[in-house]
Amino acid sequence: MCGIVAYIGKRSAYPVIVKGLKRLEYRGYDSAGIALLNEDLNIYKKQGKVAQLEEFTIGKDLSGSIGIGHTRWATHGEPCDKNAHPHRSSNGKLAMIHNGIIENYTQLKGELLKKGYEFESDTDTEVLLKFIEDIQKNNQCPLEEAVRIALKRVVGAYVIILLDKDNPDTLIAARKGSPLVIGIGKGEHFLASDASPIIEYTKEVVYVNDYELAIVKADELILKNLGNEKVTPFIQKLDMELAAIEKGGYDHFMLKEINEQPDTIHDCLRGRLDAQHFNIRMAGIDKNIDKLINAQRIMIVACGTSWHAGLVAEYIIEDLCRIPVEVEYASEFRYRNPVIHPGDVIIAISQSGETADTMVAIEKAKEQGAVILGIVNQVGSSIARISDAGAYTHAGPEIGVASTKAFTAQLAVLTMVAMKIAESKGTLNSDKFKHLVQELNAIPEKVPAILAKSNELKALAEKYKDARDFLFLGRGLNFPVALEGALKLKEISYIHAEGYPAAEMKHGPIALVDENLPVVFVATKDAYYEKIVSNIQEIKARKGKVIAIVSEGDDVITKMVDDYFEVPEADETVAPMLSVIPLQLLAYYVGVAKGLDVDKPRNLAKSVTVE
């Protein structure tokens, strides 16, 4: 979703900002723009990719060592040049970029229209900018003061950054609900939606908090709250290398990230799972272990792929810990009136740590006394900071829009959390605990065997790429894996795909089955094996084409189906970390075979910072 970059310092701002916008392309966007301040305030914006903006700016005045840039993911108004950011104030002196949504913009726009303001775009951003301009004009106050007054009236989520022709040495930024990171260089500052545009210049960053205003000069950073009191910036060191956000020889980030999974799962387990001494140490969980073992129930809130990880966790926690678990879409949870008792544990799962629905859901639960555990990938992100405790997934930056390595890392963390609670609670006997420790520890070594056979999935992708629909079926822990397989395929290949519990199929979806429908069964060896064999027969009896993900050495299903892919055997508790990988690869190769932009599928955003 919208990406913002700004620079102030000695360098030429244009190349820094354009490079930064390219680093943020993974977030998903439909137009891009830049404003540069020299003697003039020049604004250039274009629908389409950053490359099109670059083309558009050829031959234009690109001088200036202060500037702001933006990639827009349309919310208010269609994607087009006029709706792209930055926007310009009526007096021509201010330019502003914005990430988020101003919910009361209609009301503010009404007030401004009455005062004679005119609007060039359909955006809420232009409304906020002109609202700030109006306050500045009426109060004859500095821009910083006008921003503060304006934001007290604004309902919604935002990060804004303003350029002011009258103050060419200062950027004003503010945030509520959307992310803003400030990189601190020597005599220069870099502002961005996340650390990826900053990392090659400096590793010292400040994560701006909600309701904070940043007054940024080349050699000075002042943070204030909306009450105009100074706040001491908390400078953190980025634990990230530039290589982590580059493709490293792969055709796509998605393929790179799928292939990174032996390492990312290993990194996630490292220092936590001690297979030699059969021990699990997770600081955030250990500190809260009493609350966890005494919880009357656990609620998991998340969206999309992270929600699928939550469903896997539901099966595992209920099985191992005997604690009831409910898994909720964060977007539903936040708007209904959920019953939350003080002491209830809420687990929020999020790769980006910035998903607006998940963030608001946990804020709401926190107000009602729930304990919030965040399972988050992006270090320093909003959800990580709102949570009472938690565990990072340590999968490294995920740039491909489709979540892959973050999902398996989420499963690894959630499995450890469940095992830790169960061990402390006494619901898991020592032999089973030891067995699971070994099984989990062995996962990173088993993944390469799957990756080594990628060509088989490429061939399957060629064979089935023209299908109109797909059905993904699984039982038990393989049911959420089936859901995840369907989600991956639809977002990357635009083929309609549905995931279902295999037994539920006969209550409706079986009507879809004919010789044209590929049905993917996630059918590894587990307690449901015999049952899923019957489900496969039901599909074959109706001439459906069956592709099965099976355990190595399977000699029953492999004889019944049209195509199969073998994954190494593993205990069913940890098997989803393996069985999902062929589904990720299948989606990837179908997308590639169809010539699609797999890293940036249409309409999707990596970090969904609006509701």
Rounded Cα distance between 53 and 46, Å, is 5
535 binds ligand F6R (CB under 6 A): no
Rounded Cα distance between 511 and 464, Å, is 20
| Helices and strands in the chain, H and E counts | 20, 27
Rounded Cα distance between 303 and 307, Å, is 5
Binding-site string for ligand F6R from residue 472 to residue 511, where x marks contact by CB under 6 A and - marks none: ---------------x---x--------------------
Q: Which of 31, 167, 355, 551 binds ligand F6R (CB under 6 A)?
A: 355
573 binds ligand F6R (CB under 6 A): no
CB of 11 to ligand F6R, least distance (A): 32
193 binds ligand F6R (CB under 6 A): no
CB of 586 to ligand F6R, least distance (A): 14
Q: Are 323 and 295 in contact (CB under 8 A)?
A: yes
For the chain, the maximum distance between any two Cα atoms, rounded to a whole number of angstroms, is 80
Task: Please list, in sequence order, all residues whose beta carbon lies within 8 angstroms of the beta carbon of residue 426, skipping any fewer than 6 positions away.
Answer: none
Check 2, 268, 303, 321 and give the catalytic one.
2
Rounded Cα distance between 81 and 44, Å, is 9
Closer to ligand F6R by Cβ: residue 20 or 601: 601
CB of 318 to ligand F6R, least distance (A): 22
Helix (H) or strand (E) holding 580, with range, is: helix 576-593
- Binding part of the chain for ligand F6R, among 162-170, 188-196, 259-267, 298-306 by CB under 6 A, reads 298-306
306 binds ligand F6R (CB under 6 A): yes
End-to-end CA distance of the chain: 11
CB of 481 to ligand F6R, least distance (A): 14
Whether residue 606 lies in the annotated active site: yes
Whether residue 217 lies in the annotated active site: no
Closer to ligand F6R by Cβ: residue 259 or 352: 352
Closer to ligand F6R by Cβ: residue 355 or 454: 355
Radius of gyration of the chain from Cα atoms? 25
Q: Which of 31, 57, 331, 351 binds ligand F6R (CB under 6 A)?
A: 351
| Kind of pairing between the strands at 204-207 and 181-184 | antiparallel
For residue 140, give the amino acid letter.
Answer: Q
Which residues on adjacent β-strands are paired with residue 541?
Answer: none
Rounded Cα distance between 325 and 312, Å, is 11
Q: Which of 167, 305, 382, 584 binds ligand F6R (CB under 6 A)?
A: 305
Q: Which of 65, 90, 261, 352 binds ligand F6R (CB under 6 A)?
A: 352
Q: What is the DSSP string of 389-453?
A: EEEE-------SSS--HHHHHHHHHHHHHHHHHHHHHT-S-HHHHHHHHHHHHHHHHHHHHHHTT
Q: Are 601 and 494 in contact (CB under 8 A)?
A: yes
Q: Which of 402, 505, 561, 574 binds ligand F6R (CB under 6 A)?
A: 402
Closer to ligand F6R by Cβ: residue 90 or 350: 350
CB of 208 to ligand F6R, least distance (A): 19
CB of 498 to ligand F6R, least distance (A): 15
Closer to ligand F6R by Cβ: residue 47 or 352: 352
Q: Which of 403, 454, 493, 535 binds ligand F6R (CB under 6 A)?
A: 403
Q: Which sign does the torsion angle of CA 350, 354, 357, 358 carry? A: positive
Q: Which of 67, 304, 380, 397 binds ligand F6R (CB under 6 A)?
A: 304
Rounded Cα distance between 548 and 582, Å, is 10
If one counts every other C-beta atom within 10 angstroms of the C-beta of residue 166, the result is 11
**Tokens encoding 381:** 């992100």
CB of 315 to ligand F6R, least distance (A): 19
| Kind of pairing between the strands at 171-176 and 87-88 | unpaired
- Nearest CA-CA partner of 583 in 424, 419, 473: 473
CB of 258 to ligand F6R, least distance (A): 12
Question: What residues between 331 and 350 interact with ligand F6R by CB under 6 A?
Answer: 350
Q: Which of 358, 454, 478, 551 binds ligand F6R (CB under 6 A)?
A: 358
**Tokens encoding 68:** 């702001």
Q: Which of 24, 66, 303, 422 binds ligand F6R (CB under 6 A)?
A: 303
Residues that bind ligand F6R (CB under 6 A): 303-306, 350-352, 355, 358, 402-403, 487, 491, 608
Positions marked active-site: 2, 606
